[in-house]
Amino acid sequence: MATKNPIGFPPSAAVIRVIAKLGEDLSRVRRRRRLTRASLAERSGVSESTLKRLEKGDGRVALESVARALYALGELDRLARVLDTASDELGLLLMDERLPKRVRSRRPSGAL
């Protein structure tokens, strides 16, 4: 569903695809675990219509609702790892490029 954000720019096709895939995956996981939409919505503390919108790939669903559904499925840790800084390869590479060539010991303060 291509909707405009508050600034007025529509989301990119890549963003729309990822949100749609998240919704499809959530629906598939729910069905594989033999959960009805109503039961997952109740466990998540969201309305059934919100869960339905999420499964349909509606990008306007609040991130909190996504997190609640993942928590109810026992998968919240996966959301926590989305931008884990320990696996930020580009960020780590950029930091490594700024490392000094060598490290010198400092004189103790007050030494002549």
Q: What is the mean pLDDT of each run of 10 residues along the chain (112 residues)?
A: 67 96 97 98 98 97 98 96 89 92 84 62
Residue 76 lies in a domain: yes
Contacts 24+ apart (CB under 8 A), 5-13: 11/59
**Structural domain total, the chain:** 1
Q: Which residues form the domain of 29?
A: 13-97
Indicate the burial class of 4 (C-beta count within 10 angstroms; 0-12, 13-18, 19 or more).
exposed
Instruction: Measure the CA–CA gap between 23 and 20, rounded to whole angstroms.
Output: 5
Instruction: Measure the CA–CA gap between 109 and 112, rounded to whole angstroms.
Output: 9
pLDDT computed for residue 3 by the predictor: 59
Residue 106 lies in a domain: no
Residue 2 lies in a domain: no
pLDDT computed for residue 52 by the predictor: 98
Residue 64 lies in a domain: yes
Tokens representing 81 are: 């790892």
pLDDT computed for residue 62 by the predictor: 97
Q: Which residue has the tokens 């989301």?
A: 11
pLDDT computed for residue 90 by the predictor: 93
Residue 56 lies in a domain: yes
Any idea what the CATH number is for the domain that residue 18 is in? 1.10.260.40
Tokens representing 73 are: 């499925």
pLDDT computed for residue 77 by the predictor: 96
Instruction: Measure the CA–CA gap between 61 and 48, rounded to whole angstroms.
Output: 12
The structure's pTM equals: 0.75
C-alpha radius of gyration, the chain, whole number: 22
Residue 5 lies in a domain: no
